[in-house]
Structure 1
């Protein structure tokens, strides 16, 4: 098909201040055969009225009210109304580069089904971008340039939520947006990983990602750290955990203790190690903590690493390398 329809899914809630820029960037796309399924998730500002005026002027813009509540149900509704062969998501407070749809579509048509197209992203903000977001942007873009996104999937979400495109059949096959598992972008990324959809390398900047203090991912409980940790562990246990091998948990900070509690609650046995002399030999959640030297007595283990310090991470990687261990098979960095 030379000119396939692209369906753009866009939930929105109280983003009236940003919608004109967002919609203008969509209407300015070099690829013009698209439909926008834009779903109001209970806005209390003038967003719905604003989009309604755009929809009156452009039949490609199709406005709905969410029959449920929340981003996932809004995405589900938009997806149920879609007619395109290719599906992408756009956030209502962001901006597309003018060739975004064209590039994503071309890459998908080149590589075919069971692939995910994405692109480079750039954060922008009137309030300035924090070091953390700058670091995340660099890390994410480096992965995208080589298509090696899944290699660090347990660290953070490795596919930007508003910058991907996939064949509709593949989105159906991985049962996207079902059930309501938050963070929804991370859950969808793990589904792509589970179904072995390959990420297409891309070195073009396709998306401008707006950051501001009241952005949903900053303020809603669904994007709190505990949700990220739980979804990581659930998918690890489903996809990469080998119950015939000992499981070692590295680190006893906030993330380490959170993962330990989840493992205990799930009845998964593990050995807990750390380098804090004040904690070694002590018990947390009735689980003894050992020093790193205890590793010498463990054979053929899988490791979850929750140590955040960069220098410590380098030392841990060096340890694994000297023992011929493979990342994403023998050890998994969760931060």
Structure 2
């Protein structure tokens, strides 16, 4: 659990972990150079519950914090958790049971609910609805290049597989989506417990709202990169269906990745016969 200036929400997150029905776990909390008392709150929990462990670092960002935590984990499985979310009491138990019964699956997510309710609106509401409609490996693989089909703090994964894939990497785009795409290319399987097990907090200061790595342009960069490593690898021609703004923006990144782009397909008579540069 990476933590940065999370004092306002941290106790609620930690209480949800302390109340898990599954007992055999430890919490690795990485304080990423917080200045608001986050480390002090974590230290209280370390003294209160022997399952809680604190690592303090200088402020280096989310990816460094994630990899620091990853290196310290000793378990067969790792569950991601953020310092502003709330895990349902049975979350860890349900996800461990899922992975124990599905040895072919590397990443096990779950359904999520957004909160507080007055903040769950617009695109976030649509995104959660879409996320929760994707449960099976075939669902998740089919939609992998639409958007990130797993909420990062909702997942549990096999430690060995994620370390074998190189852990978290910084390419200037979302670190969680990058990991899912690398595992996808490697042929690893995904799944979800078909039950809401995480309350996912929405607020204007959330990292995905404020960090440029999570911009639409950087999502497109990630998609183009891994499309060329996977589905479009060794293709003689690439044709984009849709000559509008989204298709044009994606084409720019595909060309930078070396895609043999040949044409756009569109039904808009104003676009038919035109040339894109």
TM-score past 0.5 threshold:
yes
CA RMSD of aligned residues (A): 2.0
Q: Distance in 2 between matches of 1:192 and 1:53?
A: 37
Report Cα offsets for 1:36-78 as digits up to 9, x if no partner.
1111223232222211211121222111223561111100000
* 1:225 equivalent in alignment to 2:216: yes
Q: Distance in 1 between matches of 2:244 and 2:272?
A: 13
Structure 1 residues 18 and 157, CA gap change in structure 2 (3 angstroms) = same
Work out whether residues 113 and 170 of structure 1, in 8 Å CA contact, stay in contact via their aligned partners in 2.
Answer: no
* 1:212 equivalent in alignment to 2:203: yes
Work out whether residues 46 and 53 of structure 2, in 8 Å CA contact, stay in contact via their aligned partners in 1.
Answer: yes
Structure 1 residues 189 and 267, CA gap change in structure 2 (3 angstroms) = closer
Work out whether residues 176 and 191 of structure 1, in 8 Å CA contact, stay in contact via their aligned partners in 2.
Answer: no
- Counterpart of 2:34? 43
Report Cα offsets for 1:226-273 as digits up to 9, x if no partner.
110010111110011143442111223332222122233333221123
Work out whether residues 236 and 260 of structure 2, in 8 Å CA contact, stay in contact via their aligned partners in 1.
Answer: no
Match of 2:95 among 91, 95, 104: 104
Work out whether residues 16 and 46 of structure 1, in 8 Å CA contact, stay in contact via their aligned partners in 2.
Answer: yes
Report Cα offsets for 1:75-104 as digits up to 9, x if no partner.
000011111121111011100000000000
SS state at 2:12 partner: helix
Structure 1 residues 242 and 85, CA gap change in structure 2 (3 angstroms) = closer
The structural deviation recorded for 1:165 is 1.3
- Provide TM-score, normalisation by structure 1: 0.77
Equivalent residues in 2 for 1:140-289, closer than 5 Å: 140-144=131-135, 148-180=139-171, 182-270=173-261, 271-285=263-277
The structural deviation recorded for 1:198 is 1.9
Q: Distance in 2 between matches of 1:48 and 1:127?
A: 30
Q: Distance in 1 between matches of 2:234 and 2:242?
A: 21
Gaps of 5+ in 2: none
Equivalent residues in 2 for 1:83-102, closer than 5 Å: 83-102=74-93
The runs of 4+ residues in structure 1 deviating greater than 4 Å are none
Gaps of 5+ in 1: 1-9, 286-335
Work out whether residues 122 and 208 of structure 1, in 8 Å CA contact, stay in contact via their aligned partners in 2.
Answer: yes
SS state at 1:120 partner: strand
